[in-house]
Amino acid sequence: FRVARLLSRYPSVAFVAHTFVQTLPAAGELLQGLFALAFAYSALGVAVFGGQICSEEAAGCSAERAAALQETDWGQAGYWPMNFNSLADGMACMAHLLVVNNWMMTAEVYVLASGTQWARAFFISFYVAGVLVGLNTCQAFVLDRFLAKQAEYGF
């Protein structure tokens, strides 16, 4: 609390903190929508791609498939947990895709693992819906709130 009291002496810090606290409830609704989108895509990914990404240690994984995946940039980068073998892994993969962390490599490995180019459509559609629409809507909302409060406070 001492840090909060110290920072409250600076008007710009107090403004940011106050605006952030006021923005959280409304931004929370947007983030819930983004979570629901990621959850839906994760569930779809488990249904469509579940079990296609595996290492040699996994039961039912062919040595040829594991070797082919290991040779990709994705395998070399150690992205093995980014898969759709379970809903939790799928959510981790969706978070990985939301931050646009080498999502093209992830799409390519699923094209390789599934044997169809349609796998790429799954990742591109999530990029459009999740990143271009979802995250940009959240960012625009937060910026709009800050600019409105800035005009209100006269900063």
pLDDT digits 0-9 by tens, 54-106: 776 666 667 777 788 888 888 888 888 888 999 999 999 999 999 988 888 89
Q: Cα Rg for the chain, rounded, in angstroms?
A: 21
State the number of CA atoms in the 13 A half-sphere of 24 facing the CB.
6
Q: pTM to 2 decimals?
A: 0.81
Q: Taking a C-beta distance cutoff of 8 angstroms, is the pair 93, 110 a contact?
A: no
Predicted pLDDT at 73? 87
Predicted pLDDT at 18? 80
Q: Which one is predicted more confidently, 55 or 44?
A: 44
CB atoms near residue 86 (< 10 Å)? 13
State the number of CA atoms in the 13 A half-sphere of 102 facing the CB.
13
Mutual angle of helices 118-126 and 103-114, in 10-degree steps? 150
Q: Which of 31-35, 140-144, 148-152 has the lowest mean pLDDT?
A: 148-152
Predicted pLDDT at 128? 96
Predicted pLDDT at 64? 79
Predicted pLDDT at 60? 64
Q: Residues, the chain, total? A: 155
Q: Is the pLDDT of residue 44 over 90?
A: yes
pLDDT, mean of residues 2-17: 77
pLDDT, mean of residues 19-35: 87
Token match 């005009």: residue?
151
Q: Taking a C-beta distance cutoff of 8 angstroms, is the pair 103, 96 a contact?
A: yes
Token match 């559609």: residue?
125
